[in-house]
Amino acid sequence: MDAENRRVRIKNALQSSRMPISASRLAGELGVSRQIIVGDVALLRAAGTEIIATPRGYTLPAGSAAQGKTFRIACRHRSEQMKEELFTIIDYGCQVLDVIVEHPIYGELTGSLHLASRFDAEEFLRRCRSESAAPLSLLTEGIHLHTILCPDEDAFRRVTDALREKGILLPGE
């Protein structure tokens, strides 16, 4: 299979899947290496296809704004509170789309998360442990932003109230 055909198949697979697809899985299905898939995804992005890389694989952005409203929240917590933070957001019906920190050299750094369930959050935390990867918030003494998707403003208020009560929401938020 030529490279152009492979990229079309990658795009089609992402369009037809409701869940993220890992580069390893795509590589196995297409009979190439994981690195070839990573390169193909980079080329698809460069050509204008919006592909999101999540901890569980690649996905396309949600197509409908009717799914809710996005908000940004500023948080600060210790590493051991990360699970509590993520579960709180998810348990109130919201999704954690990303994490953002302000780096003194690189400026704003954003990591895509797309966590919509406790399972997603547990998988993310498991990968952090198994890869010995530090969260971005360690670069900023725990201060970070999250973009969250909430079904409505009431859910957003419930999330912020709960995070404030737990001491996770940055004071003044």
Q: Is 69 left (phi over 0), alpha (psi -120 to 50) or beta?
A: beta
Helix (H, G, I), strand (E, B) or coil at 20: coil
pLDDT confidence of 37, banded at 50, 70, 90?
very high
- Average pLDDT taken over every residue of the chain: 87
Give 64's DSSP letter: -
Q: pLDDT of 47-102, one tens digit each?
A: 888 898 887 889 887 654 336 788 999 999 888 899 999 999 999 999 999 999 88
Long-range contacts of 12-18 (CB under 8 A, 24+ apart): 14/51, 14/58, 14/59, 14/60, 15/60, 17/59
| CB 85 within 8 Å of CB 169 | no
CA distance 49 to 164: 38
Percent of the chain with pLDDT over 90: 45
CA distance 74 to 64: 25
Q: pLDDT of 21-34, one tens digit each?
A: 999 999 999 999 99
Q: pLDDT of 89-121, one tens digit each?
A: 999 999 999 999 888 888 888 888 889 899 989
